[in-house]
Structure 1
Amino acid sequence: MARKRPRPDQVFVETDGQVYLVRDGKGFRFPRADESLPFPTDPNGVMDFDGVRVVKRKPRLDYHPEEWTGRDEVFERTDVDPIVKRAIYTTMIRCVSEVILSKGPRVLMVKATRGFSKGYWNIPGGFMDYGEGPEAGVEREAEEEIGADVTLDGLLGVYVSGFPGKPAYTLGFVYRGHAASERFRLKADEIEDVAWFTIDKGLTLTRNPFAKWGLVDFFRQSPEAQRSLRVKRHGLAQDAKPVDQPTVFLDRDGVINRGRPGYVRTPEHVEFLPGAIEGMRTLQDHGWRLVIVTNQDVAGWKLIPERQLARIHDRMLASLRKEGVRVAEIYYCPHHVLSDCACRKPRPGMLLAAARDLGVRPRDAWMVGDKPLDLETGRAFGCRTAWVGSPSWRKRFAEEVRQLAPDVVADSLRDAARAITAGTDGKAGRRPRPRSAARGME
């Protein structure tokens, strides 16, 4: 039986709202990848529609192609291939409007029974109706979801994101505000519960990227929320002012230095992993700020005092300085695994502390770790994640980590740094493509 030949990719070329189509009999379609284009193009994404791959490309033109087909015009025509309409519809930006309602250091969250956030907690809000502005939209959504009359206190941010499993991008307006009353009336077919949470806890409960980014920006602007978060640090950035600089959070044991049975208890126990210093230097040379975030059960179980932990970090920092590597700060959790504290990973308290002290923004940050809880921490904060470790180590946690979908998988910090900085052209603010990998997951 002859094998079915794969269909060639279709090429979606668009600029300034004009789409390049080719005639096919009595109709119009996208050009195929095996057909030449009369102009140069650059790649701009890939979509898949039931086995039909559509490659989006940006043309390099020095004029506006008025003779092409307007994207809005496509939907009124009957002579255009349905794949064209589907691809154009997919690339249309959706708009949502949400609000962070606060009471002291806590924020109000709702638990959804349907939609993208089904089974998760979220902040009140949703898609804007036709002809509706973002402020009117979020006021309507709050009234519908929780029966609350809200007053908006200002715009926290405007964010854009692709959602997991969704090819379309969404524009999110997130406001801060307060409710006139706490007598909430829940929308029975959409909301099953409502509760107040601290920022660090709320971040672990939501899967909505707009909620995550909005919560962090709210935290950065809320003195009450900042005062309520208590996280230990080495003190390198004690007098530093917050600076908007791309940042890489690094776990310590297993990423920078070798872990030990019975913990790293003395400065002499510090042994840098192969490629760790080179990786840190690569990140630094590309403009990334380095921040170490580490759970230290050894202090939590009182096996060493915190002053001994400080000596260990002093030795590590001195060795790194000799290699030209500067660490902005070390945040550490001195509690053991049974503690319910804000600072212990996978809670993102240490990352929030860096947002407060250093000005870190999750959209310009990575979390690099060797354990699933490191990836959970990065996801909670709303930043990208990299998982490092030997193939045998990764095999041990493969199933658990697969669900966390790290953006980079690598054998070492050196390889992770190369993947993170790939395509940045020396500018840390430019993001590499998601789900790149220094090595595939075994």
Structure 2
Amino acid sequence: MKLIILDRDGVINHDSDAYIKSPEEWRPLEGSLEAIARLTKAGYRVAVATNQSGVARGLFDLATLAAIHAKMHQAAAAAGGRIESVFFCPHAADDQCGCRKPKPGMLEEILRRYGAEARKVTMVGDSQRDLEAAAAVGCRPVLVLTGKGRDTMRKGGLPPETLVRVDLAAVAAELAP
């Protein structure tokens, strides 16, 4: 089985420092939906792992988050792709939960649910916390330069063996030529 884990904001869709708080605010990045379709057609199972502290902050509720994710699923399907699952952490950073990236809990759960070997799984993110979570469980970390990716690269300190690609489309082209 081939599994890829994607961060959401900044990898699949435009990010916002004010949070994505409604389906109307969710806008796919250019080429991201086609990249998911390419991965799907190549036999990859696509899972999303996303921190969503806006829930804990009261900026949106779980029903709104579900509506945002429904829009994302529909958009991927319309492009010919499939997002099999979305895992999210609704906690705030100071909640000290084990599922909020950079802690590995969410990725550990994904690997467990899919019965996947971490070393065979690619995790694509645009932030240091995405890469640290991937490295903590033994996944292959890939930084994309969309979203916060350019700032993340500029700051340095990437986990060893982190690959850097321009966007999700470049990752898909490499994994599913």
Per the TM superposition, whether the score is higher than 0.5 is yes
Equivalent residues of 1:317, 1:327 under 8 A apart:
yes
> Is 2:170 the counterpart of 1:415?
yes
Which deviates more, 365-374 or 273-282?
A: 273-282
Equivalent residues of 1:255, 1:413 under 8 A apart:
yes
Q: How far did 1:357 drift?
A: 1.9
Q: How far did 1:391 drift?
A: 10
- Match of residue 270, structure 1, among 23, 26, 33: 26
Deviations 1:337-383 (Å, cap 9, x if unpaired)?
11211110011111111122222220220100000111101101101
**TM-score normalised by the chain length of structure 1:** 0.38
- Match of residue 370, structure 1, among 126, 135, 139: 126
| Residue equivalent to 2:49 | 293
SS of alignment partner, residue 55 of structure 2:
helix
| Residue equivalent to 1:236 | none
**TM-score normalised by the chain length of structure 2:** 0.92
> Is 2:89 the counterpart of 1:333?
yes
Q: Which runs of 5+ in 2 are unaligned?
A: none
Q: Please give the residue correspondences for 1:19-418 in structure 2 after superposition, counting only pairs within 5 Å.
A: 245-390=1-146, 393-394=149-150, 396-398=151-153, 400-418=155-173
Q: How far did 1:278 drift?
A: 1.7
Deviations 1:214-254 (Å, cap 9, x if unpaired)?
xxxxxxxxxxxxxxxxxxxxxxxxxxxxxxx2211000000
Equivalent residues of 1:280, 1:290 under 8 A apart:
yes
Question: Do the aligned partners of residues 392 and 367 (structure 1) sit closer, same or farther apart at CA in structure 2, a change above 3 Å counting?
Answer: closer
Equivalent residues of 1:295, 1:345 under 8 A apart:
yes
Counterparts of 2:57 and 2:167 in 1: how far apart (Å)? 29
Task: Compare the two structures and name the one with the higher strand fraction.
Answer: 1
SS of alignment partner, residue 274 of structure 1:
coil
SS of alignment partner, residue 103 of structure 2:
coil
Counterparts of 1:283 and 1:353 in 2: how far apart (Å)? 21
Counterparts of 1:276 and 1:363 in 2: how far apart (Å)? 24
Counterparts of 1:360 and 1:418 in 2: how far apart (Å)? 22
Deviations 1:161-213 (Å, cap 9, x if unpaired)?
xxxxxxxxxxxxxxxxxxxxxxxxxxxxxxxxxxxxxxxxxxxxxxxxxxxxx
Which letter maps to 1:411?
Answer: V
Q: How far did 1:399 drift?
A: 5.2
Counterparts of 1:360 and 1:283 in 2: how far apart (Å)? 17
Counterparts of 1:399 and 1:259 in 2: how far apart (Å)? 18
SS of alignment partner, residue 304 of structure 1:
coil
Equivalent residues of 1:408, 1:419 under 8 A apart:
no
Which letter maps to 2:121?
Answer: A
Equivalent residues of 1:409, 1:416 under 8 A apart:
no
How many pairs align? 177
Task: Compare the two structures and name the one with the higher helix fraction.
Answer: 2
Deviations 1:149-169 (Å, cap 9, x if unpaired)?
xxxxxxxxxxxxxxxxxxxxx
Counterparts of 2:146 and 2:25 in 1: how far apart (Å)? 21
SS of alignment partner, residue 385 of structure 1:
strand
Q: Which runs of 5+ in 1 are unaligned?
A: 1-244, 423-442
Deviations 1:242-283 (Å, cap 9, x if unpaired)?
xxx221100000000001231111111110001111211222
- Larger relative contact order (CA 8 Å, sep ≥ 6): 2
SS of alignment partner, residue 66 of structure 2:
helix
Which letter maps to 2:130?
Answer: D
Question: Do the aligned partners of residues 403 and 264 (structure 1) sit closer, same or farther apart at CA in structure 2, a change above 3 Å counting?
Answer: closer
Which letter maps to 1:282?
Answer: R
Counterparts of 2:149 and 2:126 in 1: how far apart (Å)? 9
Percent sequence identity is 33
| Residue equivalent to 1:102 | none
SS of alignment partner, residue 46 of structure 2:
strand
Counterparts of 2:7 and 2:147 in 1: how far apart (Å)? 18
| Residue equivalent to 1:108 | none
SS of alignment partner, residue 95 of structure 2:
coil
RMSD over aligned Cα, in angstroms?
1.9
SS of alignment partner, residue 256 of structure 1:
coil
Equivalent residues of 2:140, 2:162 under 8 A apart:
yes
Question: Do the aligned partners of residues 309 and 361 (structure 1) sit closer, same or farther apart at CA in structure 2, a change above 3 Å counting?
Answer: same
